[in-house]
Structure formats: C-alpha cells, structure tokens
Structure 1
C-alpha cells in the first residue's frame, strides 16, 4: 500500500538580503489540526552574529527619508495584494479566525503606510540658546538621528501587525533591524521579509532569525553591536532584557489584566456588545483583552444576563470557516493553564456563568462572577477567553479596584457622566483609557503603551520613532 507523504515547506533565515537554511530545524504547527504545517530554521549563533553584522554594515550606507517612505508605502501595497495568502497563514499558524486574520493583514498594511508617512516628518526643533547671557551670537537646533541596530522580539498572538509596529517605525527612522519572531508563529514575519525585499528595502536593513526565543534572545542581548531592544511579551522576560541591556535603549510592552468599568448610567447594550466582542476575540490572547469587569451593583444582574446571551451566540470552530468567531488557543498547554485557573477560582468561590469546559486547545468564552481580587483570574494575566465580573457601589470604589493591579496598559469605562469620565482619566493608573468602548480598542496611529509592570515606551509609528531615534544638538557660534 502506498502512503502519500506530505512534504512540509522549509523556511530559512533572512540575512543580508538572502535566504539561507540552517543545520537544525523546528516545526510550526497548524493550531487547529495540531499537525505540522511548515519547518523553520533554528538559527545558529554564527547566523545570528552575521545578521547583526549585516544590520550594522547597512547603517553605513545612505537610506534617505524619501527612500524609506517609498519602500514602506510600496510594502503596504504589496501586502494588501497578498491579503488572502497572509490571512490564510495567520489562520493556520495562530488559529485566528479568518475574518480576524484578514483584519490583521489590513491593519498591518496601515501600520506600514503610517510608518512611511512618518518617515517624511522626522524633525528636531530650534533651541533658543541665544537667550542665555554670553550666547547672543549663537544659534542652535536639534536633529533626530537613528539609534542604530535594533533587535525586535515579537509575540505569537498578533504576529504580523506587531512585527510591523516594530520594523515599520524602526526602518522609517533610518535604523536597521534584526527581527526575532515567535517560534510558534513565525511564518507571516518571514513572508513579510519577502514583501519588504520586493518593495526595494536595501540588503541588511532587515534580517530575520528564527529559533528558540531564549537562545536567540540571549545572543542578541550579548551582542554589543545592538543599540536597542524592542520587546513584546512576558514581564519575566522583559525584566531580564532590562537587566542585561545595561545602558542601551529598551522598549517593553508586557503583561496586562485590563479593567473595564460599567457604570449605572451607561448604554448597557453597548457595554455588553463591546465586552463580548473584545473579551473573547483571538481566544482572549490579546494584551488589552477585557479581563476584569467592574459593574455597578444596580445593573449587575441585567448586565450578566445579557452578556451571557451575547457570548453564547459566538461560534467556536475551524478558524478557516467564515462563520467562526473563536478558534483554538495557541496550544493545548495554554488551554490547560486557563482551565486550571478557572477551576481554582471556582474552588475558591467564583460562580461559572458560561463556558468553562475545555476541548483540546479550545477553551470556550467563559464568564465568572463572585470573583475576588486575589484569584489568579483577576490578579494575573489570563491571556485567554475569560471575563471575571465584580460589582461596586461607588465610582471611587470602582477606580480603586481597577487600580489594584501590578499592570496598567489600557482600561475601559462605560458612562454618560462627563465628570466621572474626567475623574477616571486623571485617576486610573493606565497608559490609555477608552471611554464608551472596551479596553481592547486600538488603532495603529495612536500612542500605545503602559505603566507599572505593563512596560515602558510607546508604540504607534510616530511615537515609536521618538523611541527609536536620538536627539542631537547642533550649536553655531556666529
């Protein structure tokens, strides 16, 4: 009997404008079938070093702001032309529903286009040194110059747009990049390198190395030719990077357990719709996903009833199907972790309103009430499709509960009370407050970043460019 053997595509590393294989490979799984869908290179230390060398050498060659603009704008066009291919890759390697996947491709193209536009707007400012006694004949201004070689380390959950949020601004600012995408979802990043090369990006300006995150991340941290690290991921790894980076620049987007306050005067159905949509998309694997919900006690019963009804309409299944709202989590292990946290909360007195029954890597949209602040589902970052609901009596109590967290990325507030909105804007300890929408609202041109253990620095091309450039002062003695 003949057995057909599927030959998996093999993706190499991208160094100095060329693809090359490595001695070792790793498998990338289809997150729905849990079967291998491709093989990637497990980059050797020598390949990582050459990637940095290539990036450093590229910095010595001219790459004008207008050239950067043209390359990034063309890359955005090429990416959109391949939207369906990239979306299909996302659906397979992330398990992200196909509608969401198409949306990510479109947003990634926007991120590249915004970066292209910002490449033409980088500027310094006049500095009035002539106002100082004895400097009447001096003239000064500043310019912004590239940092140099940037190591960009990206996560599994939004593996195309979050890559674009690092390499788009970095290239727009005139830097070179060594990109290390997540080893569990690297394929769209590798395809994007092809897009940028086709768009005319000079060799060495972008290098992509794949393999074990801890090993390659360590090699990049030990390489003195890297001038900046831009990382999205866990607090533990973020701390490690900050400790080992020394005096070099670091931008970190880390954990979160987003609070959302639902006040008694709000448009209740709007709150229900937004929290259902943004608590469970991408199976809850979003840094600003709705996690902790604080509902005024006078409307809590109606809110929970409506949220349950809305949530149970969501379709879980094959991410390739148009009807699917929620696909699998990134792995069985992660789904098991979420299951264990929920079960622990139930043992500690929480009440299961909906969901809670795992099936392999699938974990259903889950609503808990009766939770307490010290439960893992409240205190830590679930990074799964779980919403934990508490009640409150006063606005001060709601704000205090929302602030009772080591994290502070974004929060949501539903209210028609302008005074409350302004009070929350001043008192909530977050990088962004979204009013009359859920915490997970994000468009790609806005400043995005947190406080406390949610990290340092801002994303959004215009803001990331400020992080990825240095201000240089020029003084003329006239």
Structure 2
C-alpha cells in the first residue's frame, strides 16, 4: 500500500523503507484508516481555511518561503540524495524556485483575487454593484511527478493556501519523503494541520482518492495517465499539466550564440527529464551548420555523472529502463539518417548529453517526447515549414522563437499551437507566476499563482442593490 523511499544515490545500494503519511501534522504508517482520517480531516478543515483572511493566508505563505530559504542548502542536498538521479545543481534551483512560488503567491494573495462587474452599465443596473468572489470548490487532491519533488508540490500547495482550500498531496514514488518534509514545513508555518495531508500511496489507493466525491478538485502533473483521470471523473474539476515535445524555431537572423546558450541550458535541465525541456530545434537551413557547431562545442563541456557533484549538469535517468528507451529512440533516429554530433551513448541509467543533426519528421525524436538529455536539430527551408513541423505533434506547452524581427516574432507567435511562446528564449524559459499549461495532449487548464487559484476556485457573484436616501 505504501510507497517506498531510498536513501542511496545512483550507483549505491538502495534500501527501501515504507514512506510514512503526514496526517494532522504527524507521521504515521499508511493504512486504510490513516487514509480515511486524512480525507475526513481536509473535509472538516474546509470551513476554517475558507474563513482565513487574505492577510492570514499571505502570512503563512511568507513563513513557508522563509523556512525554505533558511534551510535551502540542506533541502537541495536531501532532494538530490533521496532521488538518486536529480542533480544537486538542479535541486538548488528547485528550492530557489519553490521559494519564488510562495513569495509570489503571498504577494498575489495580498492583492486579492476577487473582481467587480460594472452592472450599472445596463439601465437595469442603476444603483447596483456586483462583486465576483473566488470561493474554493473544496478540498484538493494534488498528484505530483518525480522530476520536481518540491517545485511541483509548491505549485499545488501555495495556490491552495491562497484560495483557502485544504489539500491532500500524493507525492511521486521516486521521492515521497520530499513531500512529507515539505508538508511539515507548511504546517509549521501555520497552515492548519488537518488542512494538509501527504499520502505516499500506491496506484489502487490513488485511484480511490481520485474518485472520492469529497475531493472535488484533482490537479495532476505527469504523463498520459492524466487523461485517464479526466475520463474517470468527468464531473470533477480536473487540472492536468502533462508532457510535450519541446520545440524551438530559429530564424536566419537569430543570434546563434544566444540560441546555443539557451537551448543547451534548456535541453539538459533535470537531465532532459522536464516537460518543457528543449527537444526539437527547427533552424533555417542557411544557419543550420553554424548552429550545430555551436551546440556541439557547448554540449561537449556539459558534465555528466554523479548527481551529488555540484559540477554535474546531467545525472542518470530515473530508471535504467527509461535510459534504454532514450537510447532506443536515438539509435532509431540514426538508423533513419540522423547524425550524432555529440554524445549518443549510454552506461546503465546515464545517457550522455546528446545532439543529433539531420533529423526529419519521420523520426520519433521529432514526434514523441524523449524525456531525456537529447536535442534533435532539423534544417528547414522557411519559417512556414518550421511552424508546420512545430505544430505536427498533438499539443505543446511552450515554443521558443529566436529572431531579431519583431514582426516575424509576433506572426509566428500567433501561428504556433502552444500554451506559451518565448521570444528570444528557449521553450524551457519560465517564471513561476506566469499562466502555464499546454494545448491538446499537453494538458488541460493552467497553473502559475493566479491561474492556479482560478483552477481551484469557482466564481460567486454578490450583487448589492441600494436605494439612494439623499
């Protein structure tokens, strides 16, 4: 029933231990009774959290940010060590961004989420005003992914606090203790203990929570299973943040050094195990070779190996099976005519940072999510072709565009199908208060402070009519 956690880095001997639940601020062994108490607790707490003022909620959010900052180095080390594959370097950024999420959410909470409608614009609305209140649907079930054990949880918990909604966090099996310790920080900052539970449970128990009518909101980060959730609970409010085949379009006038710097940084963050990592680069044929040379030069300097080494940029895949899948996609592309410019090899779960050139649309590396440290470069004869290729997949989170022509940038931004477009930046660029989510197969709904608060809340219109007395 309970998931397991390990305390050994990649390559060591991992000893599995049952991960505890966090219920009412206490660690407990996961049992059916504990799961039921967790659900009953968040249901009971819903009234109290809804009554917390914006000032109260913002103060809690600020205290979480301060607690994370005060212990940032240890948290980063623990996150890397528990996973055994996420690099220490990436986890330093993970903690920094989680702090940002709570700080930005606190600021937004103080500004407020309610709105006004000018009903007096109609003659029938004379002497009337309408307030649009944001009220929580109810307790939230937040399901996180292995590649962001703290940050993904922060993107679910911080907006829930801002909205006044209790939440059950279901952490990924690859790092359950990160969720438990994060939950303790949140409760320690003043969020009611019954209003947050962390349940590291298995698939059967997770599906039971998804279907539990007492949890009207499900926020899921992960892969194709998200659509299973949406189909299973059509009457619930479901938010999905899923994967994508990250794309960058490079015009002939682009600054190629800037392109190479951004794409290498975005292609190998979390060892490519990120939903918005750079996977596809469509570059005008006139500058294709020059860009490939720059990418090869930079990727040759990317250190791969021990995830606990602060200088390591690329660590192992989450499992050796995942690494085998990545290698198979690279090998298949080469068999179809792609050329390995850098990397292209694997040792166990460690895939070397890889750049492929001469990629074409018949290859899976341009059509399916690799979720590994691989960048595939394709030459295009026109920007129209680049847009068509970018849109040839089922959906997208972000698309990056590099050009010095503002007219081209705005034209292409209208034409690509994506949740966001980054001009003169890679598709992996993100600030955590931006509305963030995908089109088509890449997701449903948006997260990112205000956008996520909207996902967790409904609108209630309060109309005030008065009779002038003077």
1:320, 1:125 → 2: CA distance?
47
Structure-2 residue corresponding to 1:7: none
User: Relative to 1, partners in 2 of residues 1:211 and 1:33: Cα closer, same or farther, differing over 3 Å?
Assistant: farther
Asked if the contact 2:100/2:432 (under 8 Å) is kept, the reply is: yes
Q: How many residues align?
A: 454
2:234, 2:246 → 1: CA distance?
30
1:217 aligns with one of 206, 224, 227? 206
Asked if the contact 2:5/2:175 (under 8 Å) is kept, the reply is: no
2:3, 2:333 → 1: CA distance?
40
Does 2:430 match 1:411? no
Structure-2 residue corresponding to 1:187: 177
**1:132: Cα distance to partner?**
4.3
Structure-2 residue corresponding to 1:251: 239
Does 2:35 match 1:48? yes
Structure-2 residue corresponding to 1:17: none
2:30, 2:309 → 1: CA distance?
34
2:56, 2:16 → 1: CA distance?
34
TM-score w.r.t. length of structure 1: 0.91
RMSD value, Cα: 1.7
SS in 2 for 1:172: helix
1:176, 1:350 → 2: CA distance?
50
Asked if the contact 2:401/2:426 (under 8 Å) is kept, the reply is: yes
Structure-2 residue corresponding to 1:178: 168
Structure-2 residue corresponding to 1:107: 97
Does 2:69 match 1:83? no
Matches within 5 A, 1:163-312: 163-212=153-202, 214-234=203-223, 236-312=224-300
**1:44: Cα distance to partner?**
3.2
SS in 2 for 1:438: coil
**1:133: Cα distance to partner?**
5.4
**1:35: Cα distance to partner?**
2.8
Does 2:18 match 1:28? no
SS in 2 for 1:204: helix
Does 2:87 match 1:97? yes
Asked if the contact 1:395/1:420 (under 8 Å) is kept, the reply is: no
**1:468: Cα distance to partner?**
1.2
SS in 2 for 1:109: helix
1:135, 1:325 → 2: CA distance?
61
Asked if the contact 2:314/2:373 (under 8 Å) is kept, the reply is: no
SS in 1 for 2:39: helix
Asked if the contact 1:193/1:206 (under 8 Å) is kept, the reply is: yes
Asked if the contact 2:139/2:167 (under 8 Å) is kept, the reply is: yes
SS in 2 for 1:299: helix
Greater fraction helix:
2
2:125, 2:379 → 1: CA distance?
62
TM-score w.r.t. length of structure 2: 0.93
1:274, 1:444 → 2: CA distance?
18
1:445, 1:134 → 2: CA distance?
38
Does 2:415 match 1:427? yes
SS in 2 for 1:279: helix
Q: Deviations over 1:109-151 (max 9, x none)?
A: 1111112222222333333334545554544322111121000
Asked if the contact 1:355/1:367 (under 8 Å) is kept, the reply is: yes
**1:64: Cα distance to partner?**
2.2
Asked if the contact 2:398/2:419 (under 8 Å) is kept, the reply is: yes
Residue segments in structure 1 that go unaligned for 5+ positions in a row: 1-22
Structure-2 residue corresponding to 1:336: 324
SS in 2 for 1:440: coil
SS in 1 for 2:346: coil
SS in 1 for 2:377: strand
1:44, 1:280 → 2: CA distance?
39
2:108, 2:231 → 1: CA distance?
31
User: Relative to 1, partners in 2 of residues 1:29 and 1:245: Cα closer, same or farther, differing over 3 Å?
Assistant: farther
Asked if the contact 2:344/2:351 (under 8 Å) is kept, the reply is: yes
SS in 1 for 2:86: coil
SS in 2 for 1:36: coil
Structure-1 residue corresponding to 2:23: none
Q: Deviations over 1:147-169 (max 9, x none)?
A: 21000001010111111011100
The range that moved more, 23-32 or 400-409, is: 23-32
1:81, 1:102 → 2: CA distance?
13
SS in 2 for 1:453: helix
After superposing on structure 2, the runs of 4+ consecutive aligned residues of structure 1 that deviate more than 6 Å are none
SS in 2 for 1:391: strand
SS in 2 for 1:159: coil
Q: Deviations over 1:46-84 (max 9, x none)?
A: 322221111110012232221111111011101111111
1:361 aligns with one of 328, 349, 353? 349
2:229, 2:3 → 1: CA distance?
26
1:68, 1:419 → 2: CA distance?
43
Asked if the contact 1:122/1:173 (under 8 Å) is kept, the reply is: no
Q: Deviations over 1:178-227 (max 9, x none)?
A: 00010112222211111112211112111100022x22320112210001
1:327, 1:354 → 2: CA distance?
17
